[in-house]
C-alpha cells in the first residue's frame, strides 16, 4: 500500500525537523540587522557603509567627556534656603543652653548660632564644590508670576557644619578667655552637633534641569549625516569620531527596528531560512538515499548531529572572538561519512554551514572557508579505518584554511595588510580539535547504535576473543570463514559495496558453530554424529548455528550489522539435504517444511547478499574434482542463478548487473585459488641431477576426498558428513551444512556436480 503524506513515519520526520528548527531558533541571537565587529584605531574590514537614515554626528566619547568635565567645573549649583531649619534649631539650642550653661554663655552661643544661619550653612558636598570653584556663588530658582527666575547669591562667607562648629568654638574661646572662663563643655558640644543642620541645601530638581541643559552643548550634534551618505569605507582607520558615528548608527538602527512587527518578520524570516535548508536536505535524502530516508533512527541521528553543531557554533560565536572559526565543521562530513556515505556527508556539511552563516559576521568568507575545508577533509578520508588518518586530515584541514585565508586577504584587500598570525593560530587550534573527532564518532556510535569503520577493523582482527575461540574449537569453520571473507571482499570492491563491513561480517557469520562444531563437515575427523539421528533432529542441529550465533553475538555485544550477517547468510532457505531425506524416507507423508527452514530473514543489504553468494560458492567449490575454468564457471553460474531463481535477493538492494559482476569476480578468484601445480620429482641415488618430466599434481579436493573415504565408512542408505548431491536439473539446491556425500569418482559417479556447504 502506498504511503500517504500524513502517514505516521512522515509525521515523525516532520516532527524531527520542526524540533530541530525550534532548538536552533531558541539559541540564535535576536539581531534584526547586520552585526559589525570593529575597534577604534583598526581598519574597517567591511564594504562601504552608508547611512540608511538621517543621523546626527555626535562628539566622540573623549571630547564629550572633556566638555562635561569643563561644564561641571564652571557650573553654579542650584540651592534652596529652608528658614524653618534655622528657626527650629536655634530655638532648640537656646532651650538646651539654659539648663547646661550660664545665661551669659547661653546668650553668646545662641547668638553665634543665629549668625551662622543668617550667613548660611551649606551641605558638605556644596561647600567642597565652592572651594574648587573660582566663582563663589550659588543660585536659587524662584517661581514668580507663573515664571521662573534665577537669583545669584554670594556664598563666599557660607560655612559647612564642620566649619560652623570650628567658628563658634574659636569665637567662644576667645570671648571666654577674656573673662577667664573655660572652653566648651561636652554637653555644649553635643547640643551643637545636634543643632548644626544645613539650612541651604541642594535643589536637586533645578540643578539637574539646568545642568542637563548645559550638557546639551556637549551631547548636541556637530552636524548631520544624510541618508545614503558615507559613514566609513573599507580599509579606513576607525578614528574616535568614526567610532562614535558607528555606535550612533547601530543604536539608531536598533531603535528604528525595535517594533514588534519588525521582530516578528525577522523571526519568521530566520525560521523560513532554516526550514528551506532542512527541506533541501530532506529532498536529497528522499530522491537519492531512500533507505536512509526511511530509517527514522538514521534521520534522528542526522538532524540531531546537525542541530548540535549549529548550537555549538552559536555558543562559540557568542562567547569567543572569532569563535566560529574554532568550531571544527570538517568533523560533520567526517563523522557522517564514517557511518554512511560521502554524498550524504557533503550535503550535510552544506546544510550546516548555510544555517550557521545566519550569525556569521563575514558570511561569504565563512561559507567559502568552511566548505573548502570540509570538502578537502572528506576527500582525504575515503574510508576511516585508522585513528592516524584523522591526524593527516587535521593537517590537510589546517593547510586548506591557511591557503583559503590568504586567498581571501588578497581578493578582498588587494594585499596582505589584513593578514593576522592570530587567525592562523585559531586555524591551528581548529585542526587540533578536529584530530579528536574519533571521540565524537565513538559517542555517536554508542548513542545511536551505529557501527563505524574503525570498529569493524578492530573486530576483524583475528586475535579478537570470539575469532580466537572459533579458530581453536572449530578450525575448519574458521578457515572456511577466512576464504569466504576473501571472496566476499573482492566482490564487494567490484560493485562498490562496503568492503570493510563484508570482510568483518564474513568472519563472524558462522560463529554459532563453536557450540557444536562436530556436527559440521569442515570440523569432522572420521566421526559422523548425524549417523543414527533422524532428519528433523539433524536439521535442527544445523539450523542452530544461526540462532546460537545470534545468542553468542548478543553476549559478546557485537554490533547489529554483524548480527545481520549471521541471521541472513542462509536467509529463509531449507536444509535441503535433510528435507529431501525426510521426504524420501516418508513417501506420501506431508513433511513440515518449517522444521527444516532457517529463521532468516533473506538478505536485506548488498553486503549480506554478497556473503550468501560467497558462502555457497566457496562451500560448493570444495566438492569439485575438476578445477578447470569451464568447471568453475559452470559451478558459479549454477549456484548464483539458483539463488536468484529462489528469490533470495528480492529484499536486497542489489541489481542483476551487480550479481553478474559478483559472478565474474568469483570466477577469477576461484581460478586463482585452485590453479594447477607441478609435482617435484624425487632425486634418484647415484645419478646426476636431471630435470624430470612433470605432470599435474593430484588436486587437493581429490586427496581430501580419498582421506575422507578411507577414514569415514559410509552406508549407502545413511548420509555421512558432507554435502547433498542435487539433481542435474537443480544443481544449486544448496544445503551448505549438509553431510559429505560419497567421494567423487567412487560411490557417487555424479560427484563433479555435487555442491558442498561450509
Q: What is the pLDDT of residues 574-623, one digit of tens each?
A: 988 899 988 998 888 888 888 899 998 999 999 999 999 999 999 888 88
pLDDT band at 193 (very low <50, low <70, confident <90, very high): confident
Query: d(Cα 545, Cα 598) in Å, to the nearest integer?
Result: 10
* CB distance 424 to 405 below 8 Å: yes
What is the CB-side half-sphere exposure of residue 676 using CA atoms within 13 A?
11
| Residue 59: pLDDT over 90 | no
Query: d(Cα 721, Cα 183) in Å, to the nearest integer?
Result: 132
pLDDT band at 312 (very low <50, low <70, confident <90, very high): very high
Query: d(Cα 198, Cα 120) in Å, to the nearest integer?
Result: 8
> Between these two residues, 616 and 103, which has the higher pLDDT value?
616
Least confident of 327-331, 378-382, 559-563: 378-382
Distance of CA 420 to CAs 69, 237, 402, Å? 39, 17, 11
* CB distance 435 to 394 below 8 Å: yes
* CB distance 24 to 310 below 8 Å: yes
Burial class of residue 518 (count of CB atoms within 10 Å of its CB; 0-12, 13-18, 19+): middle
142: helix, coil or strand?
strand
Name the residue with cell 556447504: 757
Q: What is the mean pLDDT of residues 239-258?
A: 79
Residue 740, pLDDT score: 44
Residue 742, pLDDT score: 40
Query: d(Cα 467, Cα 453) in Å, to the nearest integer?
Result: 18
Q: Read off the DSSP letter of residue 744.
A: B
* CB distance 542 to 757 below 8 Å: no
Residue 756, pLDDT score: 34
Query: d(Cα 118, Cα 415) in Å, to the nearest integer?
Result: 77
Q: What is the mean pLDDT of residues 91-97?
A: 86
Q: What is the pLDDT of residues 711-742, one digit of tens each?
A: 333 333 333 333 333 333 333 344 555 554 44
B/e letters for 306-325, b = 16+ CB within 10 Å, e = fewer, are bbbbbbbbbebbeeeebbbb
* CB distance 444 to 408 below 8 Å: no
359: helix, coil or strand?
coil
Q: What is the mean pLDDT of residues 244-258?
A: 77
The pLDDT > 90 percentage for the chain reads: 35
Least confident of 70-79, 198-207, 340-349, 511-520: 70-79
- Which CATH number is 453-673's, of 1.10.357, 1.10.3210, 1.10.3470, 3.40.30? 1.10.3210
Q: What is the pLDDT of residues 413-446, one digit of tens each?
A: 777 777 888 889 999 999 999 988 888 888 888 8
For residue 574, which phi and psi values (nearest 5 degrees)?
-100, 150
Task: Give the containing element (helix H, strand E) for 154.
Answer: strand 147-154
Q: What is the pLDDT of residues 479-505, one digit of tens each?
A: 999 999 999 999 999 999 989 999 999
Backbone conformation region of residue 705, classed left if phi is above 0, alpha if psi is from -120 to 50, else beta: alpha
Residue 80, pLDDT score: 85
> Between these two residues, 741 and 72, which has the higher pLDDT value?
72
Find residue 55's DSSP bridge partners.
Answer: 225
* CB distance 333 to 351 below 8 Å: no
Residue 719, pLDDT score: 37
| Residue 403: pLDDT over 70 | yes
What is the CB-side half-sphere exposure of residue 331 using CA atoms within 13 A?
26
243: helix, coil or strand?
helix
| Residue 657: pLDDT over 80 | yes
149: helix, coil or strand?
strand
| Residue 683: pLDDT over 80 | no
Over the chain, what is the mean pLDDT?
Answer: 81
Grid cell digits, residue 673 = 585459488
pTM over 0.75: no
Query: d(Cα 181, Cα 177) in Å, to the nearest integer?
Result: 6
Grid cell digits, residue 657 = 548487473
Residue 717, pLDDT score: 37
B/e letters for 266-278, b = 16+ CB within 10 Å, e = fewer, are eeeebbeebeebb
| Residue 298: pLDDT over 70 | yes
* CB distance 751 to 623 below 8 Å: yes
| Residue 749: pLDDT over 80 | no
Residue 510, pLDDT score: 95
Compute the C-alpha angle 47/52/54, nearest 5°. 125
- Crossing angle of the two packed helices 103-119 and 161-178, in degrees rounded to 10: 140
Where along the chain do its domains lie? 8-27+262-441, 70-217, 453-673
Please give the full DSSP string across 593-650, using - where no structure is assigned.
Answer: GGGGB-------SHHHHHHHHHHHHHHHHTT-S---HHHHHHHHHHHHHHHHHTTTTT
Query: d(Cα 473, Cα 545) in Å, to the nearest integer?
Result: 14
419: helix, coil or strand?
coil
> Between these two residues, 451 and 475, which has the higher pLDDT value?
475
Residue 5, pLDDT score: 64
Q: Read off the DSSP letter of residue 574.
A: B
Of the candidates 509, 501, 511, the residue with the CA atom closest to the CA atom of residue 465: 511
* CB distance 277 to 355 below 8 Å: yes
Grid cell digits, residue 328 = 571544527
State the sign of the Cα–Cα–Cα–Cα dihedral 322, 324, 327, 328. negative
Residue 33, pLDDT score: 55
Pairing of strands 200-202, 78-81: antiparallel
Find the Cα–Cα–Cα–Cα dihedral 620, 623, 627, 629, rounded to 10°.
-30
The pLDDT > 70 percentage for the chain reads: 84
Compute the C-alpha angle 11/560/547, nearest 5°. 120
538: helix, coil or strand?
helix
Query: d(Cα 541, Cα 470) in Å, to the nearest integer?
Result: 18
Q: What is the mean pLDDT of residues 232-243?
A: 83
Find all residues with CB under 8 Å of 401, minimum gap 6, and list them: 369, 373, 427, 430, 431
* CB distance 538 to 478 below 8 Å: no
Query: d(Cα 631, Cα 617) in Å, to the nearest integer?
Result: 13
> Between these two residues, 148 and 433, which has the higher pLDDT value?
433
pLDDT band at 352 (very low <50, low <70, confident <90, very high): very high
Amino acid at each position: 500500500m502506498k504511503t500517504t503524506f500524513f502517514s505516521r513515519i512522515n509525521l515523525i520526520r516532520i516532527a524531527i525537523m520542526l524540533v530541530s528548527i525550534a532548538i536552533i531558533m531558541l539559541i540564535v541571537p535576536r539581531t534584526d540587522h547586520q552585526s559589525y565587529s570593529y575597534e577604534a584605531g583598526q581598519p574597517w574590514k567591511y564594504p562601504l557603509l552608508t547611512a540608511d537614515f538621517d543621523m546626527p554626528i555626535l562628539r566622540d566619547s573623549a571630547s564629550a567627556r572633556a566638555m562635561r568635565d569643563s561644564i561641571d567645573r564652571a557650573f553654579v549649583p542650584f540651592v534652596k534656603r529652608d528658614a524653618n531649619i534655622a528657626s527650629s534649631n536655634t530655638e532648640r539650642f537656646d532651650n538646651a543652653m539654659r539648663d547646661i550653661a550660664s545665661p551669659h554663655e547661653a546668650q553668646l552661643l545662641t547668638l553665634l548660632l543665629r549668625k551662622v544661619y543668617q550667613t548660611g550653612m551649606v551641605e558638605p558636598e556644596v561647600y567642597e564644590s565652592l572651594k574648587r570653584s573660582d566663582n563663589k556663588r550659588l543660585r536659587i530658582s524662584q517661581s514668580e508670576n507663573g515664571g521662573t527666575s534665577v537669583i545669584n547669591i554670594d556664598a563666599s562667607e557660607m560655612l559647612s557644619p564642620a566649619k560652623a562648629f570650628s567658628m563658634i568654638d574659636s569665637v567662644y574661646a576667645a570671648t571666654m578667655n577674656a573673662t577667664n572662663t573655660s572652653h566648651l563643655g561636652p554637653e555644649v558640644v553635643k547640643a551643637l552637633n545636634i543643632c548644626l543642620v544645613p539650612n541651604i541645601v541642594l535643589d536637586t530638581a533645578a540643578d539637574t534641569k539646568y545642568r542637563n541643559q548645559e550638557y546639551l552643548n556637549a551631547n548636541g550634534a556637530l552636524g548631520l549625516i544624510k541618508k545614503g551618505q558615507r559613514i566609513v569605507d573599507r580599509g579606513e582607520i576607525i578614528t574616535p569620531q568614526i567610532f562614535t558615528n558607528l555606535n550612533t548608527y547601530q543604536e539608531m538602527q536598533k531603535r528604528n527596528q525595535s517594533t514588534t512587527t519588525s521582530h516578528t518578520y525577522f523571526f519568521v524570516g530566520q525560521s523560513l531560512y532554516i526550514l528551506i535548508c532542512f527541506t533541501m536536505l530532506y529532498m536529497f535524502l528522499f530522491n537519492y538515499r531512500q533507505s536512509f530516508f526511511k530509517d527514522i533512527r538514521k534521520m534522528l541521528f542526522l538532524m540531531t548531529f546537525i542541530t548540535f553543531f549549529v548550537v555549538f557554533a552559536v555558543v562559540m560565536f557568542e562567547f569567543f572572538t572569532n569563535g566560529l572559526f574554532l568550531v571544527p565543521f570538517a568533523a560533520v562530513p567526517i563523522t557522517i561519512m564514517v557511518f554512511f556515505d560521502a554524498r550524504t556527508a557533503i550535503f550535510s556539511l552544506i546544510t550546516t554551514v548555510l544555517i550557521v552563516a545566519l550569525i556569521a559576521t563575514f558570511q561569504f568568507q565563512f561559507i567559502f572557508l568552511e566548505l573548502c575545508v570540509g570538502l578537502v577533509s572528506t576527500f582525504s578520508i575515503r574510508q576511516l579505518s585508522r585513528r592516524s588518518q584523522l591526524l593527516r586530515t587535521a593537517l590537510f584541514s589546517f593547510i586548506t584554511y591557511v591557503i583559503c585565508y590568504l586567498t581571501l586577504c588578497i581578493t578582498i584587500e588587494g594585499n596582505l595588510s589584513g593578514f593576522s598570525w592570530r587567525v592562523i593560530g585559531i586555524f591551528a587550534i581548529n585542526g587540533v580539535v578536529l584530530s579528536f573527532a574519533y571521540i565524537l564518532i565513538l559517542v555517536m556510535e554508542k548513542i545511536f547504535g551505529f557501527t563505524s569503520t574503525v570498529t569493524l577493523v578492530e573486530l576483524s582482527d583475528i586475535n579478537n576473543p570470539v575469532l580466537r575461540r572459533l579458530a581453536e574449537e572449530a578450525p575448519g569453520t574458521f578457515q572456511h570463514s577466512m576464504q569466504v571473507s576473501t571472496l566476499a571482499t573482492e566482490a564487494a570492491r567490484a560493485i562498490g559495496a562496503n568492503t570493510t563491513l563484508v570482510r568483518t561480517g564474513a568472519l563472524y557469520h558462522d560463529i554459532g558453530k563453536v557450540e557444536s562444531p562436530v556436527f559440521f563437515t569442515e570440523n569432522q575427523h572420521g566421526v559422523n554424529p548425524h549417523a543414527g539421528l533422524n532428519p528433523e533432529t539433524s536439521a535442527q542441529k544445523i539450523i542452530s548455528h544461526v540462532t546460537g550465533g545470534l545468542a553468542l553475538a548478543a553476549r559478546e555485544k557485537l554490533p547489529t550489522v554483524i548480527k545481520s550477517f549471521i541471521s541472513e547468510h542462509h536467509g529463509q532457505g531449507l536444509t535441503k539435504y535433510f528435507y529431501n531425506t525426510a521426504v524420501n524416507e516418508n513417501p506420501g507423508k506431508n513433511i513440515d517444511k518449517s522444521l527444516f527452514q532457517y529463521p532468516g530473514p533473506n538478505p536485506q543489504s548488498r553486503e549480506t547478499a554478497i556473503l550468501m553468494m560467497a558462502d555457497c560458492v566457496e562451500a560448493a567449490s570444495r566438492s569439485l574434482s575438476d578445477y578447470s575454468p569451464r568447471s568453475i564457471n559452470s559451478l558459479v553460474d549454477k549456484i548464483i542463478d539458483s539463488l536468484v531463481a529462489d528469490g533470495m535477493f528480492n529484499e536486497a538492494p542489489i541489481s542483476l548487473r551487480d550479481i553478474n559482476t559478483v559472478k565474474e569476480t568469483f570466477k577469477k578468484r576461484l581460478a586463482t585459488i585452485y590453479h594447477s601445480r607441478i609435482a617435484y620429482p624425487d632425486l634418484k641415488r647415484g645419478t646426476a641431477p636431471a630435470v624430470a618430466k612433470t605432470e599435474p599434481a593430484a588436486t587437493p579436493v581429490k586427496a581430501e576426498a580419498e582421506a575422507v573415504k578411507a577414514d569415514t565408512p559410509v552406508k549407502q542408505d545413511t548420509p555421512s558428513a558432507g554435502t547433498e548431491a542435487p539433481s542435474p536439473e537443480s544443481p544449486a539446491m544448496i544445503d551448505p551444512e549438509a553431510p559429505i556425500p560419497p567421494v567423487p569418482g567412487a560411490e557417487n559417479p555424479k560427484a563433479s556436480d555435487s555442491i558442498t556447504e561450509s
